[in-house]
Structure formats: C-alpha cells, structure tokens
Amino acid sequence: DPKIIQKPKYLVAVTGSEKILICEQYLGHNAMYWYRQSAKKPLEFMFSYSYQKLMDNQTASSRFQPQSSKKNHLDLQITALKPDDSATYFCASSQFGTNTEVFFGKGTRLTVV
Amino acid sequence: GDSVTQTEGLVTLTEGLPVMLNCTYQTIYSNPFLFWYVQHLNESPRLLLKSFTDNKRTEHQGFHATLHKSSSSFHLQKSSAQLSDSALYYCALSEPNSAGNKLTFGIGTRVLVRP
C-alpha cells in the first residue's frame, strides 16, 4: 500500500486556471516537502514543512502556495497556471532533521495547455 | 548555492558488466550529506545509498559508493549489472544544517541494462 498518497495522478489544466495538488502521508513523519521534476531538469526542491510550519521556500513565485490542514497533509495550490508549470510534482516526507531518509510519493503529472 | 553534477544522458550496458555512475558536487559546507536515489519507470524515487563519512564505503543492494571530500565525489558502482537495475539514478546533496532537509539533485543518469 502506498504510504504517501498523491492525487490526482494526472492533471490537465488550462492556462490561467488554478489547481490544487493533494498529498497525504501515513508514515508518521513530521516533515513534508514538495519537489518538481520538469523535462530535462533535475528534481527541484520547492518547499519544506515541519509540524505544519513552513521551514524552507525555494520557489520564487507566489503562485505556488502550500497548504497544510493536518500534520500529515501538504497540498499545493497553483494559481494563474502557465505552460512552463507543466511538470511532475512529487510530495515527499521524512522525520525532521538532516540525513534522514526522504520518501517520495508517486507524483502528480501536470500538463498546462 | 549547492550543485550536483552527474554523468548525463543514457548509459547502456550489458547484463553482468560493471556499472559506474559519476557524481561530483559543489557546496560551501565541509560536512555535506550525499545520497543516491533510484527511480524505476512509473515509480517514485527511493533512497539507494547515503553517506556523510569521508572515505568510508557504503553498500546496499549490491551497489556501493564512497564519499571522497578531497575530490568532492560520490560515484556509484556495482560489480555486475542486472536487468532490474535499469532505472534513473539521482545523486543528491543535503546541507548539514538544513532546516528543512532540502535535497539538491543532479540531472539524473538513465541506465539501461541489456541481456
């Protein structure tokens, strides 16, 4: 059974629209993250949250807003979507601290047309 | 900022032959943590190896790597490739005092093992 659940698996959106990517983890971790994987680019860190508080934000655009309603949830709201936002978005989690193993979900593949 | 450089593109090899994937890094920190993640087709990335100890070999599932701080390298090796090793391999770096355990990934190396 997957321990990090991401929904939906695939998503097609129109330019200018808004979407929310869902992530729940059942590993008992206290830190959650979002990473983005675009074509021909490395996996790119976006955000980290611990105990529902933002720890690190490496996303320049305010169009990307993480939302944490519960300790094991970290959704990603993306507004004013652009074709360049097309990517696979991975949710991940770990115990807070360095050198702890980060576990990844299966990703949401977003295509903006 | 931190950066990780890997062998780019596709590495094709024959089953039973050795594998070596290069990884070098740049960081201002003297004690970075280095990782190898593997991502099989339609799967999520998962941890393969990790190290923060200089010149100490770390092994898992037949793969091994040694962190060499003198050359800022963490190359991944396996003595005999298997068909199931076909996957995308990422080298990654974490800062020792990272508040959010941020991983900086390389571009990834795709490995295709043929019979």
**The two three-digit tokens of residue A58, written as one number:** 């490496």
Query: Binning pLDDT at 50, 70 and 90, where does residue B99 land?
Result: low
In 3D space, the residue among A82, A44, A43, A77 whose CA is nearest the CA of residue A62 turns out to be: A77
By the 10 Å C-beta count (0-12 exposed, 13-18 middle, 19+ buried), A91 is classed as buried
- Between A80-84, A105-109, B28-32, B69-73, the lowest mean confidence (pLDDT) is in B28-32
**pLDDT value of position B98:** 60
Query: Binning pLDDT at 50, 70 and 90, where does residue A79 land?
Result: very high
Q: What is the mean pLDDT of residues A66-91?
A: 94
Tell me the percentage of chain A whose pLDDT exceeds 70.
97
pLDDT exceeds cutoff 90 at B60: yes
Q: What is the mean pLDDT of residues A69-85?
A: 94
Residue from the list B43, B50, B100 with its beta carbon closest to the beta carbon of A56: B100
CA–centroid distance for A5 within its chain: 11
Q: Calculate the average pLDDT of chain A.
A: 92
Q: Is A18 on the interface with B (CB under 8 A)?
A: no
B43–A99 C-beta distance less than 8 A: no
Q: Which residues of A touch B41 (CB under 8 A)?
A: none
Q: Is B80 helix (H, G, I), strand (E, B) or coil?
A: coil
**pLDDT value of position A37:** 92
Q: Is A52 helix (H, G, I), strand (E, B) or coil?
A: coil
How many Cβ atoms from other residues are within 10 Å of residue A20's Cβ?
Answer: 13
Query: Binning pLDDT at 50, 70 and 90, where does residue A98 land?
Result: low
Among A43-52, A75-84, B8-17, B95-104, the range with the most confident prediction by mean pLDDT is A75-84
How many Cβ atoms from other residues are within 10 Å of residue B93's Cβ?
Answer: 24
A43–B44 C-beta distance less than 8 A: no
Q: What is the mean pLDDT of residues B23-48?
A: 92
Judge contact between B82 and B38, C-beta under 8 A.
Answer: no
Tell me which amino acid residue A111 is: T
Q: Which residues of A touch B52 (CB under 8 A)?
A: 99
**The two three-digit tokens of residue A3, written as one number:** 């321990």
Q: Is A60 on the interface with B (CB under 8 A)?
A: no
Judge contact between B102 and A45, C-beta under 8 A.
Answer: yes
**pLDDT value of position A69:** 87
pLDDT exceeds cutoff 90 at B100: no
* CB half-sphere exposure, A30, CA atoms < 13 A: 6
DSSP state of B96: T
A55–B99 C-beta distance less than 8 A: yes
pLDDT exceeds cutoff 90 at A113: yes
Q: Is B104 on the interface with A (CB under 8 A)?
A: yes
In 3D space, the residue among B17, B26, B13, B38 whose CA is nearest the CA of residue B108 turns out to be: B38
Give me the count of residues in chain A: 113
Residue from the list A49, A94, A98 with its beta carbon closest to the beta carbon of B97: A98
Q: Calculate the average pLDDT of chain B.
A: 92
The number of C-beta contacts closer than 8 angstroms across A and B is: 71
State how far the Cα of B31 lies from the Cα of B45, in Å rounded to an integer.
24
